[in-house]
Homo-oligomer: A and B are copies of this chain.
């Protein structure tokens, strides 16, 4: 088959179809041939638009990260902005949980991830946090969000409840976790995020706030 009169593939179409395929069937089922078949095309044709499979995955990951809202850092105080961002970040990841294992391995060279890191860091520094501290805070929240989206604590407990009861006395109810997976994960996230922000506010009051109020400009 020669070059078609109208191109059958575009980067955008490939990324959209890849996202749908990963959402529907998981990362392991995502192969270049499988994706190509979904697009009515023959495997190697994808390489006219992307250099490698990882480049496709990067594009998928980038569009997922792209919807994260960091606008709070421009309008709200740093703690409220952090909270809004963390929830938005979590929503973006849990909307496409199957791509998270790939995405979680670092921002790499994905523009949206870098833009997000930039916005968070800038917002925290602007609020008075020392640069090193701002880096740490952004990283810590990223750890927490990525971890929560990745390793849904509850998802692992799906097996025969009898097995648990015998060996792990405190986990007798663990099989029920699967039923309420979403609410457990969200509850754990909400609790952890509140605790983190509470602790950060205390640190802020102890260090930044104290210093600023002792300065003429504060």
Interface residues of A (CB under 8 A from B): 101, 104-109, 111, 113-115, 117-119, 121-122, 125, 131-133, 135-148, 150-157, 159, 164, 167-171, 173-174, 177, 184-185, 187-189, 191-192, 194-200, 202-203
Which residues on B sit within 8 Å (CB–CB) of A200? 195
- Using A106-B151, A140-B195, A143-B153 as known contacts, list a sample of 11 further A-B pairs with CB atoms less than 8 Å apart, ordered by residue number in A: A106-B153, A107-B157, A113-B156, A119-B170, A139-B154, A141-B192, A142-B147, A146-B150, A194-B199, A195-B195, A198-B199
Decide yes or no: A147 and B104 within 8 Å by CB, A140-B188, A192-B140 being known contacts.
yes
Shortest CB distance A174–B (Å): 8
Chain B positions within 8 Å of A171 at CB level = 114, 117-118, 121
What are the residues of chain B within 8 A of A191 when measuring CB–CB?
133, 136-137, 140, 203
**A142 (CB) vs chain B CBs: closest residue:** B153
Q: How far is the CB of A55 from chain B (nearest CB, A)?
A: 15
| A156 engages B101 (CB within 8 Å) | no
Closest to A159 in B: B109
30 of the cross-chain contacts (CB-CB < 8 Å) are A101-B105, A104-B104, A104-B147, A104-B150, A105-B151, A106-B151, A114-B171, A115-B168, A117-B168, A118-B168, A119-B170, A122-B169, A122-B170, A133-B191, A135-B153, A135-B188, A136-B184, A136-B188, A138-B153, A139-B154, A139-B192, A140-B188, A140-B191, A142-B153, A143-B143, A143-B192, A144-B144, A194-B203, A195-B195, A196-B196
Contact B151 A142 (CB under 8 A): yes
Bound together, the chains give a CA A164 to CA B113 distance in angstroms of 12
Q: Given the complex, which residues of B lie within 8 Å of A137, measured CB to CB?
A: 188, 191-192
CA A84 to CA B171, docked complex, whole Å: 22
The residues of B that contact A105 with a CB separation of less than 8 Å are 101, 150-151
A115-B138 Cα distance, complex, nearest whole Å: 32
